[in-house]
Amino acid sequence: MSAPTALITGGTSGIGKATAELLHSRGHRVMVTGLTGLTGLTGLAGAGLPEDVVAVRADARSLPDLDQAMEQVRRRLGSLDLLFLNAGVSRPGPIESTDETAFDALFDVNVKGAFFTLQKALPLLNEGASVVFTVGAGEGLGAAMTAAKGALPPLMRSLALELAPRRIRVNAVSPGLIDTPAYGRLGVSPEMIDAWARDVPLGRAGAPADIAEAVAFLASPAAGYITGEDLVVSGGVGVHARP
Ligand SMILES: NC(=O)c1ccc[n+]([C@@H]2O[C@H](COP(=O)([O-])OP(=O)(O)OC[C@H]3O[C@@H](n4cnc5c(N)ncnc54)[C@H](OP(=O)(O)O)[C@@H]3O)[C@@H](O)[C@H]2O)c1
């Protein structure tokens, strides 16, 4: 049997990078996309990833970039068993300080980017393939951030039904507090992450590998009867608010 194939958007950092490393270590042929974490256009192992993980510079907001990325996938992998729609940006803040640029970035990368990446990948997805969205944003991150991520679960569920005739499963992971470089870029210190982690029922921030394991599960035959679901990986955050 040939090795399963995976495309991970936003695979140059944090959760996407950890997922690329995990799947590669389990024998998948993996490609990643990224933006600022890549210096060249294609063919470079991005951001310290294993050498045979091909990284493609593709802005999730740009349809021509997505076409070019899918052409690279077609040439190098042939087809896809997993599409992990993970590229995302955070612009936390209250309404007063959320400007149009921040609002547009949130919806363009997190929503439009995921939608059109999947649209462009459709011809490459094998029967029985798995699509996983990264969702997860607590309401403490601000209205625009919550709305952008909140658009994804209904999108995911609609697409699960649309693609079910092709036996393509569409699910989501919702990370809680996961310690990734995203926080450093937002000016959040390790001490602040430690302080927030004290409110997590399991008593720690998650690691990117915690999410990678969930994605690997959703992509595996073990999850072969699961579609249209959002798997929360949060160390118990929010559990008390559920019925
Ligand atoms: N960390 C958390 O606590 C947490 C919680 C809930 C949800 N999430 C979600 O998890 C996902 C990954 O977050 P992370 O924490 O791992 O963040 P990260 O370390 O900042 O990684 C984000 C990834 O997205 C890529 N990206 C950003 N803008 C892009 C664009 N326009 N086009 C293509 N790629 C783009 C980045 O590429 P470059 O670096 O190469 O530009 C990077 O690979 C995001 O969707 C985020 O919203 C994270």
User: What is the residue-level pLDDT of the chain in tens, covering all 243 positions?
Assistant: 789 999 999 999 999 999 999 999 999 999 999 998 776 555 555 567 888 899 999 999 999 999 999 999 999 999 999 999 999 999 999 999 999 999 999 999 999 999 999 999 999 999 999 999 999 976 778 999 999 999 999 999 999 999 999 999 999 999 999 999 999 999 999 999 999 999 999 999 999 999 999 999 999 999 999 999 999 999 999 888 888
Is there an atom of ligand 1 within 6 Å of 46 CB? no
Burial 192-214 (b: 16+ CB within 10 A, else e): ebeebbeebeeeebbebebbbbb
pLDDT of residue 141: 85
Asked whether 162 and 227 are in contact (CB, 8 A), the reply is no
Tokens of 144: 């625009």
Is there an atom of ligand 1 within 6 Å of 181 CB? yes
Domain range for residue 172?
A: 5-179+208-231
- Atom 2, ligand 1: residue with shortest CA distance: 178
* Cα(130)–Cα(39) distance, integer angstroms: 30
Torsion of CA 25, 194, 98, 95, to 10 degrees: 130
Instruction: With respect to residue 236, please indicate whether it lies within any of the assigned structural domains.
Output: no
Q: Is 189 exposed, middle or buried (0-12, 13-18, 19+ CB in 10 A)?
A: exposed
Instruction: With respect to residue 48, please indicate whether it lies within any of the assigned structural domains.
Output: yes
Instruction: With respect to residue 100, please indicate whether it lies within any of the assigned structural domains.
Output: yes
**Total tally of structural domains belonging to the chain:** 1
Expressed in angstroms and rounded, the spacing between residue 1 Cα and the centre of ligand 1 is: 32
pLDDT of residue 19: 98
Q: What angle do CA 89, 91, 93 make, to 5 degrees?
A: 160
Picking from 142, 153, 150, 210, the residue whose alpha carbon sits closest to that of residue 176 is: 210
Picking from 83, 77, 111, the residue whose alpha carbon sits closest to that of residue 19 is: 83
Instruction: With respect to residue 197, please indicate whether it lies within any of the assigned structural domains.
Output: no
State which ligand 1 atom lies nearest to the alpha carbon of 109: 31
**How many CB atoms within 10 Å of residue 137?**
22
Is there an atom of ligand 1 within 6 Å of 60 CB? yes
In sequence order, which residues have a C-beta less than 8 Å from that of residue 96 and are 6 or more positions away? none
Is there an atom of ligand 1 within 6 Å of 90 CB? yes
Instruction: With respect to residue 64, please indicate whether it lies within any of the assigned structural domains.
Output: yes
Is there an atom of ligand 1 within 6 Å of 178 CB? yes
- Atom 36, ligand 1: residue with shortest CA distance: 10
In sequence order, which residues have a C-beta less than 8 Å from that of residue 165 and are 6 or more positions away? none
CATH of the domain at 115: 3.40.50.720
Is there an atom of ligand 1 within 6 Å of 197 CB? no
Instruction: With respect to residue 38, please indicate whether it lies within any of the assigned structural domains.
Output: yes
In sequence order, which residues have a C-beta less than 8 Å from that of residue 111 and are 6 or more positions away? 148, 151, 152, 155
Partners of 132 in the β-ladder: 84, 171
Picking from 179, 177, 153, the residue whose alpha carbon sits closest to that of residue 234 is: 177
Is there an atom of ligand 1 within 6 Å of 86 CB? yes
Instruction: With respect to residue 96, please indicate whether it lies within any of the assigned structural domains.
Output: yes
Instruction: With respect to residue 77, please indicate whether it lies within any of the assigned structural domains.
Output: yes
What's the sign of the alpha-carbon dihedral 180, 183, 189, 195? negative
pLDDT of residue 49: 86
